[in-house]
Amino acid sequence: MSIKTNSEAWQSGIAKNITFIVTKDCQLACKYCYLVGKNIKERMSWNVAKQAIDYILDHEEDFREESVIWDFIGGEPFLEIDLIDKICDYIKVELFRRNHHWFNSYRFSFSTNGINYHEDKVQRFIAKNRDHLSIGITIDGTERKHDLNRIYKTPEMEAGIAPAPEDEKGSYKDVVRNIPLWLSQFPNAGTKVTISSADIPYIKESVLHLFDLGIHEVNINCVFEDVWTEGDDVKFEEQLMQLADAIIDGKLYENNACSFFTENMGKPLDCVLENQNWCGAGKMLSVDAAGNFYPCTRFAQYSLRDKKAWIIGNVRDGIDKNKLRPFLTLDRCTQSTQECIDCEVGSGCAWCQGENYDAAETPTIYQRSTAICKMHKARVRANNYYWNKLYRKLELEGEREAFESNKKKSNDVIC
């Protein structure tokens, strides 16, 4: 059974995604975080936020999507809940006042570390905007896996000094205490789990733990950066196959879903039907504390290791369409090698446009990073094992027809 989360199902593919980088601060210093420039100084002001909203709403002709997702990120966005509350109130009033086509067709979206989810200000904001909210809390699995990477920031880290392992403090307990409250408010919500080299051995136990917590949708992916070592793909495949056995033997597929097991992936590419960009870079819009516009948050300076920020405008002068134009020509073929295009299991192989840019030999967005190639192939092998075993089981038990029917109904649901 495939369960769609609020954030995934709502107006999928037809909504404009506009992201406010409200702060570059965070309570945590996650070891796999792609945000290499987090700091406590760059916080968005109300004046910059208002200018961004006014520019977007003043140029309705340039934003013709049927709906809009106003996304708030950091760092940790709920550190700026007062500003966010003011922004959202202003958006609602302006959409109504202007009789804008996005009025009553919008969402406020958050991905949070969950640490201060229970606080009164956050809960008042949720109560006020409940019918227009999508909120995901990031919890990586068991305490062992979560605390391996998602550790609290320390003053030493601020000074660039790595703490000794015994001084690291994990955040699991402070996050898991808020999961019941979150699920009571967003029962169909899913979480995002990140896999890096060090935590591969804990994939199976972590996904099962999240199911046990009542999180029925586990969206899980490998980091796109080049962090993988010799043999990681073998260990990865073993963990996924063990997870497949646990899900199928325990019939956990009836009420849960894990994005590692996706039926239509790992096939040769249809270069006509599948020649599109993987993500929405360029179709999305992001704005930071300085009022700069980006084609995606991954092109802001705090997301980049080796390249300069790719700015496409600002709240004062607007969007420079010439700087945005390269993103509108992106597809699979314009940035992939022939080896990737001809790959026998290329379908479903993902990439991050910002990581492509950061890892490229020159300042280009047309060079696809292939750091996760071997991890994708391992996932395909485990994915094939999962679906072959599941369908054999369903046929032996005479349940395949009912499963297919339920899957179709689930895919048709808009939460």
Mean of pLDDT values over 170-198? 96
Token look-up 């600002």 returns 314
Q: What confidence score (pLDDT) does residue 141 get?
A: 97
Confidence at 3, pLDDT banded by 50, 70, 90: very low
What one-character-per-residue DSSP string does 141-208 give? SSHHHHHHH-BB--HHHHTT-PPPGGG--B-HHHHHTTHHHHHHH-TT-EEEEEE-GGGGGGHHHHHH
Q: What confidence score (pLDDT) does residue 193 get?
A: 94
d(CA 237, CA 160): 36
Task: Kindly report, residue by residue over 200-237, the tens digit of the pLDDT.
Answer: 999 999 999 999 999 999 999 999 999 999 999 999 99
Question: Which residues lie closer than 8 Å to 187 by C-beta, 6 or more apart?
Answer: none
Task: Kindly report, residue by residue over 61-112, the tens digit of the pLDDT.
Answer: 999 999 999 999 999 999 999 999 999 999 999 999 999 999 989 999 999 9
Residue at 102: amino acid letter: W
Task: Kindly report, residue by residue over 372-415, the tens digit of the pLDDT.
Answer: 999 999 999 999 999 999 999 999 888 887 777 676 655 554 33
> What rounded mean pLDDT belongs to the chain?
92
First to last CA, the chain: 15
- This prediction's pTM: 0.91
What one-character-per-residue DSSP string does 184-200 give? HH-TT-EEEEEE-GGGG
Rg of the chain taking only CA atoms, in angstroms = 21
Query: Using alpha carbons only, what angle is made at residue 183 by residues 179 and 185, rounded to the nearest 5 degrees?
Result: 125
SS3 (DSSP) at 293: strand
Tokens linked to 277: 């960009």
